[in-house]
Structure 1
Amino acid sequence: MENKNPFVDKIYNFEDRLVRFAGESIFFSRDLEKSFENEYYKNQLIRSSGSAALNFGEAQGTLTDKDFIFKLTLVVKELKESRNSLKILDYINEGNEKNRAYLLNETEELIAISSKMILNKK
């Protein structure tokens, strides 16, 4: 992946942002050097970023606010896991620095949005 910010184009649909985040996490992971450590955090990042998008898809099909809130809490959990994987990769200076920063920033925004959605449903 090149050093262009993939998040510069604004997407206002939350599901589409989650899908883009999962996809960009995959692109970022593909460029990591092969090592045991990188493989571990790469796999974690791919699973957790994708799971956030998938759980939001399930949230849209819920029948009650309680179920919606539960699914959204899973989205937040998976986004926080993604953030931690990215922070560890940042700490050990793995992967493209700019792309890592873009992903970390997007993770923070997605966590804030999904947390606000939960508060609005309570």
Structure 2
Amino acid sequence: MKKDNLILEKTCEFSLSFIELYKELNFKKEYILSKQLLSSGTSVGANVHEATAAQSKKDFTHKMSIASKEARETKYWLKL
């Protein structure tokens, strides 16, 4: 991962925080929420990372749009 790409760095940190949250929630036997948060929370960074290899500007925009949707889904699961 390039160190000069702040978005990649922040979304990676974001994903890592959800891995830690997943472990904590699993320990407390909150299995459904933990899996949903792990999935959507780590998907944000995965889609941003994927966008860096986009084949066109349209492809980049599409992948970043998916990352945005995953972030909104993550916000929903956090509210629950």
Shorter chain as normaliser: what TM range?
0.7 to 0.9
1:54 corresponds to 2:34: no
The ranges of structure 1 where at least 4 consecutive aligned residues each deviate by more than 2 angstroms after the TM superposition are: none
Q: Equivalent residues in 2 for 1:9-28 (5 A)?
A: 13-28=6-21
TM superposition shift of 1:18: 0.6
Q: Percent identity?
A: 27
- Identify which of 13, 30, 33 aligns with 2:23: 30
> What's the CA shift string for 1:18-39, capped at 9, x where partnerless?
11111111212222211xxx21
Q: Equivalent residues in 2 for 1:30-109 (5 A)?
A: 30-32=23-25, 33-34=28-29, 38-88=30-80
Instruction: Give 1:71's aligned amino acid.
Output: K
- Structure 1 or 2: more helix by fraction: 2
Give RMSD over aligned pairs: 1.3
Consecutive unaligned residues in structure 1, runs of 5 or more:
1-11, 89-122
Query: Which has the higher relative contact order, 1 or 2, with Cα contacts under 8 A spaced 6 or more apart?
Result: 1
Consecutive unaligned residues in structure 2, runs of 5 or more:
none
TM superposition shift of 1:63: 2.2
Which TM-score applies when normalising by structure 1? 0.57
Larger Rg: 1
* Equivalent residue pairs, number: 74
